Chains A and B, each alone.
Chain A
């Protein structure tokens, strides 16, 4: 049991248990944003149900001065605002921790724990007295606990009131209510509890060059900056906000102020089959075009993904992964679409995948995706996930290089075509295995027949084995050639290391934190985060260099490990899996446990510093 009195400054975790649809999301993000503005590394994870109103929902905030902001289940303080889940919420607090609850009604005695301090504030009562409107009474209960937490944790009240001012600049009545509610909660805490708790926030300077952004917003912004003009999509959790954000940015940056004319076209499709078709049609014409979806959408798109692959049409697909199979758990996170995307569609198909780890990479990889899709004339997947896509992350401020110009790949201009005796779509190929394409309407000589049926290297219909194979072999060469053009792996070596840990995407922070924990337990590990598929030479070299490797990922079937065994020369016997696939973001503790339980004893004993 941790000592309740031991001071924990800028290093603790809160969990807030709420009822969905009561306005808790805005209260909780206000809290997280206030901590961010105090300059302290922080993360907020919304663990929400597939529901609009009534079901339990949780929000977790982790504060860590060293930047370890992966999810942790070691909660120091529980804000228990949902009677329905009291029992499990109280149980989850660490020994020596605190439970803040609504004491308007007596707490069931059976819930009490001797090793936890209960702090009761009569929120319902306070808000019933202070507010008249019933909806307002519900909403303000949540804002009220922000005030209590400000007192308990030393949240800077100037920061909070500054945020309220910005947020409700145009709604003074709302600002008044919010201010009043916060003050109620704050005053009650000061009058009834010893404030602050040993859990404390102290201003730092660690976030001044950072922003607070979710991955879907960042992805959308990347698409705008890459010059995407056509988006075809169908609403699906957790990717919908990519298109919401894209629309917002386009309205802001791409709408002519005088005429109202739009330099973009967003098509909300009837389903994902149509969404991907729209992207293919627009890309065929030469527009940068994309779709955003989640696993079920990828399943539906499979047929046309093969068409884009075989007809060699650049296509950008954002997959914000959620828990499958089938409908699965739509509001929970997973990395379950790796194999689905790598080989999407029937026949021999292989695709380029990008694995962003955070919103910053979502922004940049979105731009990369368009360049790669056009350079290699093929579908490119951005494999984000719900945790990255829908939660706010603290990431370094985004920078844009104004000298950037889109890599349109091998496209023949009017002048090129003018000079050519004759154009053939799939021949000759360049050093990457890519042949020049033309865009419709540019020049009479550029006309050709695009088809998903068997074709030869001149683009003509064929059913002749050699002619068919010749094209398929070039597609394989082209895919292989892309391996050193996808973002390179992030590799960090540790002196005296004995093992390698390999991961991808949103596992990054938890795995990095686990490296330190392992080190303190005598295990030194090198780290590699793959950021693209096909795997580059750097990935192969890292795999070659280690005797035992742990592949950490968030799915049941070890999909990254499978992909490595299929696509590298590494024997699968030396690849060990660490898997977490329950739907919540990965924790360092899971990685540590997974490694220690499987490590070869001889390797577990690295030399201590």
Chain B
């Protein structure tokens, strides 16, 4: 029903956050995706995460490439700065933007076509640079806008709507990210908002590149029998191996944490991530351990989800590059231009 202009309705129970904004203030335009699309659930989770983190809308930059996933930034936080760029090129644009203005919060929304095929090179290099941004892959194993071709994340043997089985090995963004040194790696499921929201919040506060791969079934082209990215298949095989709670810095810790919380990880800004329900042999801060655990369970046909790996010592691109704390966009001409006297002096060496 995308032709309907979204009505502005404010339920009296909508509670304002510390900025005086309600959940509605974090919403965007009406979605034009298919009814039941997993992406819309992710959008709702992003809305909630930003609302709960009291993010000022105009201090948010939301970027995307091209594809169904890349349409979604229009559907959240109308008051933020959006950039719907070109196919597979969002990571570079976000990198440049973050280089210029480190004060904004950056969210990149991408898909498996956008990130794992045409934009694979850009995504992995943004991970290597550790650009401070939340990077969400809305992963459905299929090209939706061009009507149902397999994407690079399609599992071997997974069937297309027409019954054709995929024969090429899939690219797994989680394993890839772990392998190349990503500092925040998560996987979730669009049908599990309770798990997803805290992951997104932690990702938004992470001092570096936070990769969140979200299985997000395509109801039109990849939700049938034989698909390994359908709602049914994912619900059946999802293995939430750990739950994360995100506790923002300075928030009063009132939640009651049960015994057996294996890990509390402090983030760069003082926020905490508390892991619960952790499998006994799982350490979310040990890269090698995480990789072998995931490999083992994925081999068994399971889809392990949760905030899978977190490097608390992560340093983002700016800290590594020793950039000034003031955003470069705010430096004055005087701070940047050496002036004529310096030019004269410099040219003494050009004789």
Contacts and interface: CB of A to CB of B under 8 A. Distances in A.
A225 interface: yes
Interface residues of B, number: 59
B62 to A, nearest CB: 9
Contacts of A263: 323-324, 328, 331, 335-336
B331 A229 contact: yes
Contacts of A282: 96-97, 99-100, 328
A274 B92 contact: yes
A264 interface: yes
A304 B86 contact: yes
Given A212-B350, A229-B100, A262 B322 contact: yes
A23 to B, nearest CB: 21
A452 B85 contact: yes
A152 interface: no
Interface string A302-317: 0110010000000000
A439 B85 CA distance: 17
Contacts of B271: none
Contacts of B333: 227, 405-406
Given A211-B350, A229-B328, A263-B336, A277 B61 contact: no
B122 A401 contact: no
A316 B336 CA distance: 17
B328 A447 contact: no
Contacts of A36: 351
A261 B95 contact: no
A542 interface: no
B94 to A, nearest CB: 6
Nearest to A397: B347
Interface in A278-298: 278-287, 289
Interface of B: 56-59, 61, 63, 73-74, 78-86, 89, 91-101, 103-104, 121-122, 125, 129, 318, 321-325, 327-329, 331, 333, 335-340, 342-344, 346-347, 350-351
B332 to A, nearest CB: 9
Interface in A411-450: 439-444, 446-450
Contact of B328 (A221, A260, A264, A450): A264
Interface stretch (A133-141, A265-273, A331-339): A265-273
Given A211-B350, A444-B58, A278 B99 contact: yes
Contacts of B58: 440-444, 446-447
A253 B94 contact: no
B86 A265 contact: no
A299 to B, nearest CB: 16
Interface string A209-241: 001110000000100111101101000000000
A7 interface: no
B81 A267 contact: no
16 contacts: A221-B346, A229-B329, A230-B100, A262-B323, A263-B331, A263-B335, A277-B91, A277-B93, A277-B122, A282-B97, A287-B100, A287-B329, A307-B85, A447-B79, A449-B73, A450-B84
Nearest to B329: A286
Contacts of B104: 285, 440-441
B327 to A, nearest CB: 8
A409 to B, nearest CB: 15
A60 to B, nearest CB: 21
A156 to B, nearest CB: 14
Contacts of B73: 449
A284 B56 CA distance: 19
A213 B59 CA distance: 43
B92 A278 contact: yes
A494 interface: no
Given A212-B351, A230-B328, A284 B97 contact: yes
A267 B96 contact: yes
A448 B77 CA distance: 11
B50 to A, nearest CB: 14
B322 A401 contact: no
A448 B73 CA distance: 12
Contacts of A484: none
Interface string A535-547: 0000000000000
Contacts of B335: 263
Contacts of B98: 281
A284 B351 contact: no
A254 interface: yes
A441 B103 contact: yes
A126 B3 CA distance: 88
Contacts of B321: 262, 265-266
A249 to B, nearest CB: 8
A285 B60 CA distance: 12
A451 B121 CA distance: 22
A274 B80 CA distance: 24
Contacts of B59: 441
Nearest to A277: B92
A398 B347 contact: yes
B107 to A, nearest CB: 13
Given A211-B347, A287-B329, A230 B61 contact: no
Contacts of B80: 447
A250 to B, nearest CB: 10
Nearest to A273: B89
Contacts of A283: 96, 100
Given A269-B125, A448-B81, A452-B85, 8 more contacts: A224-B336, A261-B324, A261-B325, A265-B99, A270-B122, A278-B95, A397-B347, A441-B101
Contacts of B337: 224-227, 404
Contacts of A307: 85-86, 89
A265 B323 CA distance: 7
Contacts of B97: 281-282, 284-285, 440
Contacts of B323: 261-265
B339 A277 contact: no
A453 interface: yes
The 5 closest A-B pairs by CB, nearest first: A277-B92, A281-B96, A278-B96, A287-B100, A281-B97
Contacts of A211: 347, 350-351
A313 to B, nearest CB: 9
B324 A253 contact: no
Nearest to B318: A265
A399 interface: yes
B73 to A, nearest CB: 8
Interface in A373-409: 397-402, 404-406
Contacts of A439: 329
Nearest to B347: A211
A260 B322 contact: yes
B324 A256 contact: yes
A524 interface: no
Contacts of A230: 96, 99-100, 328
B121 A285 contact: no
A479 interface: no
A64 to B, nearest CB: 20
Contacts of A276: 92
B321 to A, nearest CB: 6
A529 interface: no
Residue from A232, A265, A451, A453 whose CB has the most chain B CB atoms within 10 Å: A265
Given A285-B101, A399-B340, A280 B93 contact: yes
A398 B331 contact: no
A349 B325 CA distance: 38
Given A263-B335, A270-B121, A447-B57, A277 B95 contact: yes
Contact of B338 (A37, A213, A224, A461): A224
B89 A304 contact: yes
A233 B99 CA distance: 14
Residue of B73, B74, B323, B343 most packed against chain A (CB within 10 A):
B343
Interface in A453-495: 453, 461
A260 B86 CA distance: 36
Contacts of A447: 57-58, 78-82
Nearest to B343: A400
B84 A229 contact: no
A254 B335 CA distance: 8
